Amino acid sequence: MRDIITGQKSSLNSSQAGNLILKRVEVKISEDENVRRFLTEEMIVKRKMRILSLVLTALMVTGLGGCGSTDNSIDNTAPQNDTITNDQGTETDTSEVSIAVETPQTEEETVEPEPGSENSDILVVYFSRTGEQYTVGVIDKGNTAIVAEMISEETGADMFEVIPEDDHYPMTYSELTDVAKQEQNDNARPAYAGEVPDLSQYSTIFIGAPVWWGDWPMIMYTFFENNKEGLAGKTLIPFSTHEGSGLSGFDKKLSSACPDATVLDGLAIRGNDCQNDQDSVREDVSEWVTGLDY
């Protein structure tokens, strides 16, 4: 009898030799099993490494691109229930895969207050008319409205337009002058529509209107009186548009109407320039705003 593995002549009988061969085959199978297991585990490790590198790449791309989400706090240790299947069909839990990835932080941007934003502590209040106006014909944007917008653009201020509650003002110039004169003679207080913004959030308030018969239009006195408390303690800055009368004492009259406010130097702009020479008006507004101490 010869050993089937070594080929040597054996002293064992056939039954003993059969048992020995069986044992050696079992040992061989068991060794093969260990190798197979090792190889399988090695494959799993390699697979995990591949997944890790894929996850890392994906996270870096997402972080660098900064697309969509602004939340950079990715919880990389959050348990996942994913499984992978290796070449042998064995499922492996990847929940223990935990990586620490630093995603790039987006730089903090300095946000300039937009006109009309809730962050501004500056307000522009104005009254203005469309329709037929002196020297400019029929206009679809009032002269004072144009200046008010420029101030808002320059300062980031919010805006509030004083609009008559019942718009009884005529669209033709001569009729409008009559109505305005009558209101002045009556010391009227025409009502305005809408809700005035909460003035407590503003420290500085620009207030502008056209000069009507050498004075503020009477509806502006309604505004001053209705908001006397809200305007107290504020810095008020008057501006006018006109056709020759300049500021017409807007500053002194505003001080009298709002004695508890600080009134700064005002600006007077020709109405005609608002329609026909906006570059120079913008320059004047910018220069004036820059020189104000508010």
Ligand X SMILES: Cc1cc2nc3c(=O)[nH]c(=O)nc-3n(C[C@H](O)[C@H](O)[C@H](O)COP(=O)(O)O)c2cc1C
Mark residues 20-59: x for contact with ligand X by CB under 6 A, - for none.
----------------------------------------
Q: Helix (H, G, I), strand (E, B), or coil: what is residue 181?
A: helix
- Cα 121 from Cα 153, distance rounded (Å): 14
Is 143 a binder of ligand X (CB under 6 A)?
A: yes
Number of C-alpha atoms within 13 angstroms, CB side, residue 203? Answer: 6
Q: Helix (H, G, I), strand (E, B), or coil: what is residue 123?
A: strand
Mark residues 255-284: x for contact with ligand X by CB under 6 A, - for none.
----------------x-------------
- Cα 214 from Cα 242, distance rounded (Å): 9
The contacts found for 83-91 with CB under 8 angstroms, 24 or more apart, are 84/47, 84/48, 84/51, 86/40, 86/43, 86/44, 86/47, 87/43, 88/40, 88/43, 90/40, 90/44
Q: Which stretch binds ligand X (CB under 6 A): 77-85, 141-149, 184-192, 284-292?
A: 141-149
Q: Which stretch binds ligand X (CB under 6 A): 5-13, 114-122, 159-167, 236-244?
A: 236-244
By C-beta, is 92 or 142 nearer to ligand X?
Answer: 142
Which listed residue (122, 129, 192, 267) binds ligand X by CB under 6 A?
A: 129
Q: Which stretch binds ligand X (CB under 6 A): 91-99, 101-109, 111-119, 126-134?
A: 126-134
Which listed residue (124, 150, 157, 211) binds ligand X by CB under 6 A?
A: 211
- Cα 217 from Cα 129, distance rounded (Å): 11
Question: Phi-psi category of 231—alpha, beta or left, where left has phi over 0 and alpha has psi -120 to 50?
Answer: alpha
By C-beta, is 180 or 257 nearer to ligand X?
Answer: 180
- Cα 202 from Cα 160, distance rounded (Å): 12
Is 133 a binder of ligand X (CB under 6 A)?
A: yes
Which listed residue (194, 233, 244, 259) binds ligand X by CB under 6 A?
A: 244
Which listed residue (92, 123, 142, 221) binds ligand X by CB under 6 A?
A: 142
- Cα 146 from Cα 221, distance rounded (Å): 21
The contacts found for 168-172 with CB under 8 angstroms, 24 or more apart, are 169/129, 170/131, 171/130, 171/131, 171/132, 171/138, 172/131, 172/132
Which listed residue (245, 255, 278, 286) binds ligand X by CB under 6 A?
A: 245
By C-beta, is 120 or 240 nearer to ligand X?
Answer: 240
Taking the complex as a whole, the smallest distance from the CB of residue 165 to ligand X amounts, in Å, to: 18
Q: Which stretch binds ligand X (CB under 6 A): 34-42, 96-104, 140-148, 158-166?
A: 140-148
List interacting residues with ligand X (CB under 6 A). Answer: 128-129, 133-134, 142-145, 173, 176-177, 180, 210-214, 241-245, 271
